[in-house]
């Protein structure tokens, strides 16, 4: 009987596995879910270790580095590890990267918690932000194509709303609404990109305007304000129902720590919509370790070393000079000046800096999120690829002019030998890796419409200066949000963006931890160390 049951179970498992492999997207979703769970386990373990040593550092970043180091070491002794990754994990990792940006919507919504005091302060904040940013420069039937989207909206109306107004449970409605809006905006963007009835410039404009992070955040803000008015609750209370700061890793630590945190306070074991989104974001950060492993040869080269050096220089510049510049412009008090020490560092790393130096954490988070959204929308509008093409075309024109005016003329080649030369011009050859930096679709169109140009192999051309510069620019300005966008479109600049984001954050935390430097910066803007 046991043998029969075991055989039957194995047969059912084999049929289920065959079904999942047949439906690739569903299988990728299952693997991505497993990656999320494994990432949360890694985060929980590292978080426990950090608590035991009283170290305040984002465990998701350390987990990302750990994944990269472990896989790189294992790859040296397991030659088929790369093949296993490409066959079983690559697509699921890309799927997780595509949806991890949902975690950025919650910090944007939390801007409602602490608005700035007056118009003059808002103007000065914007001026300081711009000054420090500049130098671093068919629709029919689409809903039915995504069953997850349909399910989210169905649960919103049939489960979320009844639970909210029958038993006063906020979390289900907020969670279903968050994911329903997120998937809807992604589908709308996809439909606009593939719509043939629009002119290209209209399609690009609409795609950039329909940024999923922005519109999902706005919908959740509207939900918070409307529900606060209906239930006669304060805005702060409503925001508390959206996020309890209890991620999946915290739930895993709950049983280990006996239900209390490092300070002995009782842990909250209830998860809200924002906590689920944050868990996905943290898992996505850990999954970047897989992508760093995928492009390890490029990162462990002179290009990767250049990214590390430039990011470190910018980090010391932010910590030492950022607050002084904003102070000179007239922004105050000191806590707002100090917020600019980590204005482009991901929130997870900026928080320890704000605690150490006494900065305005709300203003810092606001700048980080808005900067990320601006860069995401700008890339969606095609600004990055346009800028690269414009600058690069000028460079190629000047280079061609130099060659044409040179007194030395190359020897004439025989006619038979000249016929064997490729027809593609130098500009055409060099624009392929440039377009790959920001715009995957442009690179695909180039490969399709220009068969005379050889298609670059995976990872080939990643050390092209334009690709490295693109990743570095996005990583140091828009942190995780911009990096997530590059991974979403399959850009070869994405690993450099992740590396620069990580290096800038780590070095910012490191420089802010140097007490003589931190005390000098805080005193220079009229503040005092906490």
- Kindly state the average pLDDT of the residues 423-444: 39
User: How many Cβ atoms are within 10 Å of 197's Cβ, its own excluded?
Assistant: 8
Domain boundary among 262, 295, 328: 295
**DSSP 8-state code for residue 266:** B
Q: Which of 101-105, 110-114, 228-232, 513-517 has the lowest mean pLDDT?
A: 110-114
Say whether both 110 and 46 belong to one domain.
yes
In a domain, 414, yes or no: no
Say whether both 58 and 125 belong to one domain.
yes
Place of tokens 């049939």: 158
Cβ atoms of 60 and 286 closer than 8 Å: yes
pLDDT at site 34: 92
Task: Return d(Cα 59, Cα 421) in angstroms, integer.
Answer: 54
Domain boundary among 269, 295, 321: 295
509 has a pLDDT exceeding 70: yes
Say whether both 206 and 317 belong to one domain.
no
- Kindly state the average pLDDT of the residues 291-317: 87
Say whether both 197 and 278 belong to one domain.
yes
Say whether both 340 and 231 belong to one domain.
no
pLDDT at site 387: 59
111 has a pLDDT exceeding 60: yes
Q: Which of 109-113, 270-274, 423-427 has the lowest mean pLDDT?
A: 423-427
Say whether both 234 and 365 belong to one domain.
no
* Exposure class string for 256-283: b at 16+ Cβ within 10 A, else e: eeeeeeeeeeeebeebbbbbbbbbbbbb
Say whether both 522 and 384 belong to one domain.
yes
In a domain, 418, yes or no: no
- pLDDT confidence bin for 115, thresholds 50/70/90: low
In a domain, 116, yes or no: yes
pTM of the model: 0.74
Say whether both 290 and 311 belong to one domain.
no
In a domain, 410, yes or no: no
Say whether both 68 and 108 belong to one domain.
yes
Domain boundary among 271, 295, 319: 295
In a domain, 423, yes or no: no
Beta bridge partners of 260: 266
Say whether both 321 and 279 belong to one domain.
no
Cβ atoms of 486 and 467 closer than 8 Å: no
Say whether both 196 and 76 belong to one domain.
yes
Its domain, for residue 334, covers 301-395+461-529
In a domain, 400, yes or no: no
In a domain, 314, yes or no: yes
The count of structural domains within the chain is 2
| 190-213 tens-digit pLDDT | 888 777 777 777 887 887 788 888
User: Please, which residues have CB within 8 angstroms of residue 33's CB and are 6 or more apart in sequence?
Assistant: none
First CA to last CA distance, the chain:
69
409 has a pLDDT exceeding 60: no
| 459-471 tens-digit pLDDT | 444 567 778 888 8
Task: Return d(Cα 269, Cα 82) in angstroms, integer.
Answer: 39
In a domain, 439, yes or no: no
* Exposure class string for 14-36: b at 16+ Cβ within 10 A, else e: eeeeeebeeeeeebbbebbeebb
175 has a pLDDT exceeding 90: yes
Say whether both 62 and 105 belong to one domain.
yes
């Amino acid at each position: 009987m046991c043998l029969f049951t075991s055989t039957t179970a194995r047969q059912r498992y084999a049929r289920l596995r065959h079904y999942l492999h047949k439906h690739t997207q569903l299988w990728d979703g299952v693997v991505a879910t497993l990656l999320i769970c494994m990432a949360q386990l890694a985060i929980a373990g590292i978080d426990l270790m950090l608590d035991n040593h009283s170290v305040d550092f984002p465990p998701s970043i350390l987990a990302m580095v750990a994944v990269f180091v472990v896989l790189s070491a294992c790859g040296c002794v397991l030659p088929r590890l790369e093949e296993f990754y490409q066959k079983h994990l690559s697509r699921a990792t890309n799927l997780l990267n595509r949806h991890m940006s949902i975690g950025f919507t919650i910090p944007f919504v939390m801007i409602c918690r602490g608005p700035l005091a007056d118009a003059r302060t808002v103007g000065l904040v914007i001026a300081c932000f711009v000054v420090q940013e500049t130098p671093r420069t068919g629709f029919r039937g689409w809903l039915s194509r995504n069953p997850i989207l349909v399910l989210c909206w169905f649960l919103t109306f049939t489960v979320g709303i009844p639970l909210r107004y029958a038993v006063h449970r906020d979390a289900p409605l907020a969670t279903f609404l968050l994911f329903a809006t997120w998937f809807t905006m992604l589908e709308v963007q996809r439909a606009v990109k593939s719509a043939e009835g629009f002119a290209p410039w209209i399609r690009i404009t609409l795609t950039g305007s329909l940024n999923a992070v922005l519109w999902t955040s706005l919908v959740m803000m509207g939900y918070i304000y409307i529900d606060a008015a209906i239930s006669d609750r304060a805005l702060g209370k409503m925001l508390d129902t959206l996020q309890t700061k209890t991620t999946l890793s915290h739930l895993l630590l709950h049983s280990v720590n006996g239900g209390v945190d490092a300070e002995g306070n009782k842990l909250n074991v209830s998860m809200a919509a924002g906590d689920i989104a944050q868990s996905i974001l943290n898992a996505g950060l850990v999954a970047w370790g897989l992508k760093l492993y995928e492009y390890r040869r490029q990162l462990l080269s002179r290009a990767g070393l250049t990214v590390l050096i430039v990011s470190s220089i910018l980090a010391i510049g932010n910590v030492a000079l950022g607050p002084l510049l904003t102070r000179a412009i007239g922004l105050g008090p000191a806590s707002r000046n100090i917020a600019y020490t980590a204005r482009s560092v991901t929130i997870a790393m900026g928080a320890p800096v704000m605690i150490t130096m006494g900065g305005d954490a709300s203003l810092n988070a606001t700048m980080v999120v808005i900067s990320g959204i601006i860069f995401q929308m700008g890339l969606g509008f095609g600004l990055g690829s346009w800028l690269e093409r414009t600058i690069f075309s000028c460079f190629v024109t000047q280079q061609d002019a130099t060659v044409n005016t040179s007194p030395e003329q190359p020897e004439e080649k025989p006619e038979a030998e000249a016929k064997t030369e490729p027809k593609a011009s130098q500009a055409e050859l060099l624009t392929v890796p440039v377009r790959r930096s920001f715009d995957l679709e442009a690179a695909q169109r180039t490969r399709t419409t220009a068969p005379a140009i050889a298609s670059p192999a995976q990872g080939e051309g990643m050390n092209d200066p334009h690709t490295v510069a693109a990743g570095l620019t996005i990583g140091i300005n828009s942190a995780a949000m911009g990096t997530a966008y590059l991974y979403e479109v399959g850009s070869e600049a994405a690993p450099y963006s992740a590396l620069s984001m990580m290096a800038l954050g780590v070095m910012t935390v490191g420089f802010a931890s140097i007490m003589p430097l931190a005390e000098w910066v805080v005193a220079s803007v009229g503040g005092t160390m906490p």
